[in-house]
């Protein structure tokens, strides 16, 4: 009897170890909490394509838009903690707890980090015929005419919106925020003269900058962008405005899995994602996003995410910002 029990335990142990080492033995799903076609979708699909080669299994992109990323993210929170379902988190995931009265999950209890994919800038742009030639010009005009200048964004609580709110907070200026339902309508009104400026994504405005329809005044990352079309553009921190020396408002992308996912599975996902993010294919395809690849450890993403939650919560509360 004892021999049978011992044999059973040994077989169970061998099976558990074998299953762990066999991961993955079926397709993996990355949930993108946005509609197809945007920057997050492009980054997830490109990363997934290369990860599939590393893992030997298909990586399927599942777009679940809605609720400011909450719907798709919640679907992952409720998924089995086995490594087969991930979420491509963004800036929105870090600010939602401060913007929304109720959340169906708490990040520290629902998710485990896999990898910070990378960071990319928003770009402060004005029309080509705008009188503003520098960031200092905007600060001077905003101080001389409080409430007269306006900036567009693709929606309340987005990185473009909060980039503008951080600008206002540090420079102690008052400008009107005009939210739109998407970057397209916002840029249409910017080009048409209905708004004065926008903190837009690099991918959304890159073509307009190259064609001369928009003038880029600064990027929102701490340093200049390595992307060729933005290499000549200073950062807001390096724009010469003293109050903006600490300015940083990155867009970012990071992979999370449900909490409880085995550490060895997370390690395999991290290794595959790291190799994918550093591949020539990935870097070439996301170049227009202005993405600076990070591709570090799970702990790096955990630390970065927690820092983002804290610093944006302070601004959101101080400025009394609400989600749409």
Residue appearing with tokens 């064609």: 211
CA dihedral 71, 72, 78, 82 (to 10 degrees): 180
Query: Kindly report the CA angle at 304 between 279 and 316, in degrees rounded to 5?
Result: 125
Q: What is the mean pLDDT of the chain?
A: 90
Residues ≥6 apart with Cβ < 8 Å to 148: 141, 142
In a 13 Å sphere around the CA of 97, the CA atoms on its Cβ side amount to 17
Asked whether 217 and 233 are in contact (CB, 8 A), the reply is yes
**Structure pTM?**
0.85
Asked whether 85 and 31 are in contact (CB, 8 A), the reply is yes
More confident residue, 228 or 253: 253
Residue 53, φ and ψ in degrees, nearest 5: -70, -35
Q: Does the bond joining 24 to the residue before it have cis omega, within 30 degrees of 0? A: yes
Q: How far is CA 214 from CA 137, 207, 210, 251, 299, in A?
A: 16, 9, 8, 21, 39
Count of helix runs (H) and strand runs (E) in the chain:
12, 11
**In the structure, what pLDDT confidence band is assigned to residue 21 with cuts at 50, 70 and 90?**
low
Nearest C-alpha neighbor of 50 from the set 79, 28, 33: 28
Asked whether 137 and 107 are in contact (CB, 8 A), the reply is no
Domains in the chain, CATH or no CATH each: 2-119+251-319 (3.40.190.150), 122-244 (3.40.190.10)
Residue appearing with tokens 């929606």: 155
Q: What is the pLDDT of residues 269-318, one digit of tens each?
A: 999 999 999 999 999 888 877 888 999 999 999 999 999 999 999 999 98
**In the structure, what pLDDT confidence band is assigned to residue 4 with cuts at 50, 70 and 90?**
low
């Amino acid at each position: 009897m004892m021999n049978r029990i011992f044999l059973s335990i040994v077989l169970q142990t061998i099976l558990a170890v074998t299953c762990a080492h066999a991961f993955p033995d079926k397709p993996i799903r990355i949930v993108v909490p946005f509609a197809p076609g945007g920057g997050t979708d492009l980054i997830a699909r490109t990363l997934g394509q290369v990860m599939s080669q590393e893992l030997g299994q298909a990586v399927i992109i599942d777009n679940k838009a809605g609720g400011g990323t909450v719907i798709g993210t919640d679907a992952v929170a409720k998924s089995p903690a086995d490594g087969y379902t991930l979420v491509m988190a963004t800036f929105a995931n870090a600010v939602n707890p401060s913007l929304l009265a109720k959340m169906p999950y708490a990040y520290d209890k629902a998710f485990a980090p896999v990898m910070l994919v990378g960071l990319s800038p928003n770009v402060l742009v004005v029309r080509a015929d705008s009188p503003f030639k520098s960031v200092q010009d905007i600060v001077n005009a905003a101080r001389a005419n409080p409430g007269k200048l306006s900036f567009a964004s693709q929606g309340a609580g987005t990185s473009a919106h909060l980039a503008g709110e951080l600008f206002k907070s540090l420079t102690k200026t008052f400008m009107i925020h005009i939210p739109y339902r998407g970057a397209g309508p916002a840029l249409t009104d910017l080009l048409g003269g209905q708004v004065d400026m926008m903190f837009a994504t690099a991918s959304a405005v890159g073509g307009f900058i190259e064609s001369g329809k928009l003038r880029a005044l600064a990027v929102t990352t701490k340093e200049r962008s390595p992307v060729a079309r933005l290499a000549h553009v200073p950062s807001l921190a390096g724009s010469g405005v003293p109050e903006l020396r600490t300015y940083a408002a990155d867009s970012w992308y990071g992979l999370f899995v449900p909490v409880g996912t085995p550490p060895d599975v997370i390690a395999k996902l991290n290794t595959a994602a790291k190799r994918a993010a550093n591949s020539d294919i990935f870097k070439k395809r996301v170049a227009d996003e202005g993405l600076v690849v990070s591709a570090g450890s799970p702990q790096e993403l955990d630390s970065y995410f927690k820092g983002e939650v804290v610093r944006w919560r302070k601004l959101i509360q101080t400025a009394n910002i609400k989600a749409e």
